[in-house]
Amino acid sequence: MRLSQSTTLPEGLVAIVKEDCPTCELVVPVLKQLDDRTDLTVFTQDNPDFPTEISNRHFDEDLAISWHHEIETVPTLIMIKDGNEIERTVGWSRSQWESISGVSELGRELPDQRPGCGSLSVDPSLATDLELRFGASSFNARKVEFAELEDTHEALYDRGWTDGLPVVPPSEERVLAMLQGTSRSPEEVIATVPPDLAPCTVEKIAINAVMAGCRPEYLPVVLAAVQAVCTDTFNMHGLLATTMPHAPVFVVNGPIADQIGMNSGNNAMGQGNRANSTIGRAVQLVIRNVGGGRPGEVDRAAFGSPAKVGFCFAEREADSPWPPVSSMYGFTPGTNTVLAFPGEAPRNLIDQLSRDPDSLAQTYAANLISIQHPKLVLGFDAILAVAPDHSRVFSEAGWSREQLTERIVELTVRPGSELVRGAGDIPEGIPEEMEGLDLPKFRPNGLHIVHCGGAAGLFSAIIGGWVNGDMGSNPVCVEITP
Amino acid sequence: MTKVLDPTNETKPAEIPRVDRPESLDGLTVGLLDISKPRGDRFLDRIEERLVERGLRVERFRKPTFTKPAPVDLRHEIATKCDVVIEALAD
């Protein structure tokens, strides 16, 4: 494509038009009048022969003139004097065109005014290309070129930049488009990512979000999620390095979940929804690529879990009997948040016969006790994802989240004599000195009840937590900002 | 030709040369670092006994938790007080 020699506008009147605009067609007689009586230059965006009536006509083929002079609407009429723009007007308005040009009786057959059309230079399908070509935006990241004969996907894999699944090649165009998803500066450092404790900018996160398959509107969620895990409270380093299989599990609350098309219903923890599938994966790629956390190196998981590819879903807020789970962290309903929970893969629990809240709570308690080991208590948090067929029982009985949590925890209390090392002929267990205590499975605020899942199925799901407290990890909930 | 942006941190880790391994432990102070894994202390107790029998000076250290890197102050203290260090990974 031919580049314009100069983007300086000539002296006198300048009009920017395109043929594919009824208002530009409409003002052709006016342009002819101005061409006869003033020093007029016309730049045309689409058809180099439009308008044929005007001789001093230039083709803004690469849209350089339009882009550099921030033309958003055609026609735009500009007056240039001594190299400077004195005045401009957009669309057709007889009074304004007469005022700018100093010529009266313009377009007497025309209506007084008519709005213009969008300039080609702001066409969404071209904007990214133009920004890259002309804009001041320059990436800080190193540019890596692959040879013509290299298979891009193989090359990305060979460099160790993927999780084993194919990634979207992070081209400049795609990363620039991704960065449109946030108002934050690409240079802003969002977090220090373990294990290499590398400072991580918005730009680096955008690159990895492109690779994960995110759309630009997911980026604020990814940024918040990276921020949440890279805290001392969450202890991403430990979660990565542990021999246990856990990974960050993200629960999104607030209107953003619907706005970006997240799934909180049928198959919410499964495949098929782009936002759910890619947000968690983007965070994992940041840990891998920016943090340097790779399996077999600092990541010492014995089994790992599918959650380590990326695990993210939204809470089913619309028909939930409870306020969003983010309320446990002081957020008011309607706030966009992401909860980072150090969890493992989900497992289903069945109770198709209970129809009263207390018997369902007993089913929950019986299942939750087994997290990691039935004889290990207080050391592990959990997400209990309650599906609508179950939650209805609690909403009909008027049970709040707190009431249900309290009842479940109460039902998990067992005497220390059953839990200590050696009890029940099992060496695993809690230390002998705790024998005299009655102990619940969960610490205060350890159980996170989330409303989620499809409308059919008398099930709930459990996501067991990693070691909690100062020794391990604590869930972190942060607000998502644009 | 395809051009992509580097997704990594692009930093080369600072390389700090290791101290040469001593020919012998004679006259050296040995640091024993317990990373707080269960029963790591038993292993280090036994090592300490053996080292003390050989007339060596031993300093004991403990990380607050094995799930996080050792605090920088602890690392500095070990480096200042000891000539060599033995770390116990255990379970």
pLDDT tens digits along A342-387: 999 999 999 999 999 999 999 999 999 999 999 999 999 999 999 9
The H or E element that residue B33 is part of is: strand B29-34
In angstroms, the Cα distances linking A466 to A185, A205, A310 are 34, 26, 16
For residues A413-419, give the mean pLDDT: 97
Predicted pLDDT at A5: 53
For residues A303-315, give the mean pLDDT: 96
Cβ–Cβ below 8 Å for B4 and A235: no
> Which residues of chain B have a Cβ shorter than 8 Å from any chain A Cβ?
1-11, 13, 64-65, 67-69
3-state helix, strand, coil split of chain B in percent (to 5) is 25, 25, 50
> Where are the strands (E) in A164-317, listed by range?
189-193, 198-201, 247-253, 312-314
Residue carrying the six token digits 């602890």: B74
Statement: the pTM of the whole predicted model exceeds 0.80: no
CATH of A12-134, one of 3.30.428.10, 1.10.8.60, 3.30.70.980, 3.40.30.10: 3.40.30.10
The complex scores an ipTM of: 0.78
C-alpha angle with apex A356: A355 to A361, nearest 5 degrees? 110
Predicted pLDDT at A13: 95
- In terms of residue numbers, what domain contains B52? 29-88
Identify which of A171, A193, A235 has the shortest CB distance to residue B4: A171
Q: b/e map of A428-465 (b: 16 or more CB within 10 Å)?
A: ebbeeebbeeebbbbeeebbbbbbbbbeebbbbbbbbb
What are the tens digits of pLDDT across the range A244-282?
Answer: 999 999 999 999 999 999 999 999 999 999 999 999 999
Chain A environment of B13 (Cβ under 8 Å): 196
Q: Is residue B70 part of a domain?
A: yes
For residues A206-233, give the mean pLDDT: 98
Confidence grade of residue B13 (pLDDT, cut at 50, 70, 90): low
Identify which of A196, A237, A289 has the shortest CB distance to residue B7: A289
What are the tens digits of pLDDT across the range A100-147?
Answer: 999 999 999 999 999 999 999 988 888 778 887 887 668 999 999 888
What are the tens digits of pLDDT across the range A149-168?
Answer: 889 999 999 999 999 999 99
> Which residues of chain A have a Cβ shorter than 8 Å from any chain B Cβ?
139, 141-148, 150, 152, 156, 161, 169-172, 175, 193, 196, 198-200, 203-204, 207-208, 211, 235, 237-238, 241-242, 285, 289-292, 467, 470-473
Residue A307 DSSP code: G
Structure tokens at A464: 């067991």
**Closest CA in chain B for residue A143:** B5
**Closest CA in chain B for residue A207:** B7
Predicted pLDDT at A63: 93
Q: Is residue B76 part of a domain?
A: yes
Identify which of B2, B11, B65 has the shortest CB distance to residue A169: B2
Q: What is the 3-state secondary structure (H, E, C) of A355-366?
A: CCHHHHHHHHHH
List, as own/partner pairs, every contact residues A28-34 make where C-beta atoms lie below 8 angstroms and the sequence separation is at least 24, other chains included: A28/A53, A29/A107, A29/A109, A29/A110, A30/A92, A30/A97, A30/A106, A30/A107, A30/A110, A33/A103, A33/A106, A33/A107, A34/A101, A34/A103, A34/A106
**Closest CA in chain A for residue B1:** A148
Cis-peptide into A51, omega within 30 deg:
yes
For residues A446-469, give the mean pLDDT: 97
Q: Is the pLDDT of residue A6 over 80?
A: no
Cβ–Cβ below 8 Å for A193 and B3: no
Predicted pLDDT at B6: 95
The H or E element that residue A343 is part of is: strand A337-343
Q: Is the pLDDT of residue A4 over 70?
A: no
Q: Is the pLDDT of residue A450 over 60?
A: yes
Identify which of B8, B10, B65 has the shortest CB distance to residue A470: B65
Identify which of A144, A172, A471 has the shortest CB distance to residue B65: A471
Predicted pLDDT at A204: 98
Cβ–Cβ below 8 Å for B9 and A193: yes
**How many domains would you assign to chain B?**
1
Residue A126 sits at φ, ψ, to 5 deg, of -110, -20
CB B5 within 8 A of CB A143: yes
* Bigger pLDDT: A461 vs A470: A461
Q: Is the pLDDT of residue A91 over 60?
A: yes
Cβ–Cβ below 8 Å for B8 and A289: yes
Cβ–Cβ below 8 Å for A139 and B5: yes
Q: Is residue B9 part of a domain?
A: no
The H-assigned helical ranges of chain B are 40-53, 72-81
> Which of A140, A167, A179, A204 to mutate against chain B (most B CBs within 10 Å)?
A204
For residues A439-455, give the mean pLDDT: 97
For residues A474-481, give the mean pLDDT: 98
Is B91 exposed, middle or buried (CB count within 10 Å of its CB: 0-12, 13-18, 19+)?
exposed
* DSSP, residue by residue, A26-71: HTHHHHHHHHHHS-EEEEESS-TT-STT-SSEEE-TT-HHHHHTT-
Chain B environment of A289 (Cβ under 8 Å): 7-9
CA distance A396 to A389: 11
Give the dihedral of Cα atoms A81, A87, A88, A94; nearest 10 deg. Answer: -110
In angstroms, the Cα distances linking A361 to A310, A414, A442 are 30, 16, 14
Closest of B24, B37, B42 to residue B84, by C-alpha: B24
CA distance A186 to A132: 14
Predicted pLDDT at B14: 63
* Bigger pLDDT: B86 vs B14: B86
Q: How far is B24 from chain A (nearest CA, A)?
A: 32
Question: Residue ranges of the domains in chain A?
Answer: 12-134, 153-479
